[in-house]
Structure 1
């Protein structure tokens, strides 16, 4: 039932299925299906959600904060004090904080510095860092790091989808190879059956010997054994393909009569107008490393800033009230201000933090150099391998044409009694083997094309466009 549901979904999912053969699973339909339903594809989509959450958290450090406090003390039938305050703190992106407060206090033992009139005291002021925190602080660094985290998440998502599609494509090509190999072997069996029946008829008519009949039967049995061996490989490759077929969060099964498209339909040739440097520079693995380096550079600037002393200046105009209302009244003579200064004597923790951030950057730089070199060498090797496989394909096609000519000539000789079952079988074997080898070479060539697209970060674009 699950396999029936799967093939029905594939039919609805894509109009590219041929109406004449509803069991055909084309490569493009398979690739789109994998990218839309496989758990790893959905896991890759979570990278965007993680990045959005990280960005929200970084922006949240700039959210205004409202705080209130109420403290009362009663002792020995006396109201010692009541302290009530409201405070609104608004951090800005330039290391400045705006602070507004309202205080209302009373009591017989009230500390003079907390004393207000009966309608309370308002203040509105600013706090600013003049040394450490002037150019960068935890809030601004968090915002910059969140931006690079988003880029890293995009690179990781692209890498996950690239890996998934590459592995799924390899599984499809392997299944395709085993499927069409079986078709060639079946052709060989059909030929062997025809010649066995013809030989037996000739034997019954006295034209062939019993040995000829036995030889024809053994040829048929050999090809049947070859088919059984191929069936084992086909079942295995089909199971590997099914690992990428998911529906509604459950693994699916490929219907028995499903067939792949022909190897000639798979075209994985990109437009090669980009240089080697361009190909490597846009690879998500390398971009991820470069964005990690930028991420660590933000950390380094923050650690370096912490080597400065802390010097914070505060200025708050005090706004009293008039009459019976609580409306604040400004007077330039009423204010409070202050300076806070602190500095570690040795800065050992800060210097260690800066050194760690520098080491992280150096580590990523070495990793970038290594990854770039590996990618360049793999791309060059893939291009060379494609050229070799293409030459082998062209040569193998010529061999097939040659073996077919020899086989047809052997048929003609047999009509005049100048050939034998043994010779015809040998010609057939060579012809069928050459076709099977062509199928295998085609698979290797397509896989190398996919590998090149995978290494140059164009796999998704070429397959889905």
Structure 2
């Protein structure tokens, strides 16, 4: 016995309403990938994150190099001349020099001169000395060794801040890929469900037509709707596949190998739960304050300005004359301290030298000092511009975040309204007062509203991370 036409209509309605209003994607909880998991993987294993850590290690190596400028230096000079059977001289002179922070170098050593034709200025036999070299003008307050060490310390701190900046940008790129993947997956699942619904609907309509209860045009209507959805399903499938490839570019293993994300790993079922944002700072005024005080990009400029200020002080030394004084206290034998208390500073047993030079026009010094000042001005202007750019970005993304939240509420209501319209149309269809064409039209509107809602939610979460990114909080 053939089922009556009203029974077929009821079956169609139950199929549609059940499928569209209770869409759920079966997921194995152990095969899901959340945004926090992606962030953790990227932080630990992504090559850019690792390179950022290497950048810090390199800065620390540079600091060690700069400290080498203050290492004590042990040297020795050994010379001998013998000609025509005559020992002219035989010289052995080891010496140790100890640099100090204030540009003074302390040195001590021993001399042993023997031979028949020594330079009259040389003290024959064994002697020793202890003394110091003192810059009296240029290099007194700042020299290259001190400047490089101070700058190396600053650059080490700056490298750590730049690491935060690199990671902040990297994590934002990863979140952009992740939420694109989440959106693509959910859109694909919606269309898969719609295709499954329409396959069963076409089967029901064909059976109704074979039983003489539906017109042939209804089978064409059902087939056209199915084919349209199959086309969209293929489109969303390739989008989801490509989104997975994009996300895979951020996923690496602990062994340093790239990881290709399998298609059976999906987003969590509760991916759109706004409580996931509870730990984020999303207050506009707080974000602006945080960015102004601690954004890595602005802190990098602070370090640059400190390094440039040291460079300016170093360049100022080029405007000063070079006036170096060297003094040695001399002793017989190898004990440099044997008679140090017996001789006055310039009374006996001493040697000193004074060297003075100054360029008459100081052209190079004046140019270098001016250039250092201009670099500071340029960097300060860049910092002000960067701070303004960050403030505008924070306000922009925060405005977008607030509007998206409102739009999600409106779109949720809109989606519900289209569902009720579809239910009403289905009731009319069951009473023989509507057509499959109108059912399909209502269904299309429900699907469009559902797809739009998914896109808005994914954009909402991505924008929340963008707000954190602009404030420099993704690290």
Instruction: Please report the TM-score for the alignment, with normalisation by the length of structure 2.
Output: 0.88
Q: Distance in 2 between matches of 1:328 and 1:454?
A: 65
Q: Distance in 2 between matches of 1:328 and 1:255?
A: 78
Name 1:254's counterpart in structure 2. 261
8 Å CA contact 1:85, 1:101 repeated in 2: yes
Per-residue CA distance 1:322-365 (angstroms, 9 max, x = gap): xxx86862141322223222111111111111111112111111
Shift of 1:277: 4.1
Kindly report which structure 2 residues correspond to 1:9-408, keeping only aligned pairs within 5 A, or say none: 20-117=28-125, 120-247=126-253, 248-261=255-268, 262-265=270-273, 267-268=276-277, 269-270=280-281, 272=283, 274=286, 276-321=288-333, 329-330=338-339, 331-332=342-343, 333-408=348-423
CA-atom RMSD in angstroms: 1.9
Which secondary structure does the structure 1 equivalent of 2:286 belong to?
coil
Shift of 1:396: 0.2
Q: Distance in 2 between matches of 1:219 and 1:427?
A: 12
8 Å CA contact 1:106, 1:115 repeated in 2: no
8 Å CA contact 2:287, 2:471 repeated in 1: no
Q: Distance in 2 between matches of 1:377 and 1:328?
A: 69
Name 1:457's counterpart in structure 2. 472
8 Å CA contact 1:188, 1:428 repeated in 2: no
Q: Distance in 2 between matches of 1:328 and 1:294?
A: 43
Per-residue CA distance 1:402-452 (angstroms, 9 max, x = gap): 111112222222222222211111111111111110111112212211111
Question: Unpaired runs of 5+ in structure 2?
Answer: 1-26
Per-residue CA distance 1:131-159 (angstroms, 9 max, x = gap): 11121111111111112111221222112
Q: Distance in 2 between matches of 1:171 and 1:399?
A: 28
Instruction: Please report the TM-score for the alignment, with normalisation by the length of structure 1.
Output: 0.90
Per-residue CA distance 1:28-64 (angstroms, 9 max, x = gap): 1122112222211111111111110111011110000
Q: Mean Cα displacement is larger for which, 400-409 or 173-182?
A: 400-409
Shift of 1:271: 5.2
Match for 1:419 among 416, 430, 434?
434
Q: Distance in 2 between matches of 1:275 and 1:382?
A: 11
Q: Mean Cα displacement is larger for which, 19-28 or 105-114?
A: 19-28
Which secondary structure does the structure 2 equivalent of 1:102 belong to?
strand
Shift of 1:314: 2.1
8 Å CA contact 2:287, 2:394 repeated in 1: no
Shift of 1:84: 0.8
- Residues 1:271 and 1:373: Cα distance change in structure 2 (over 3 Å): closer
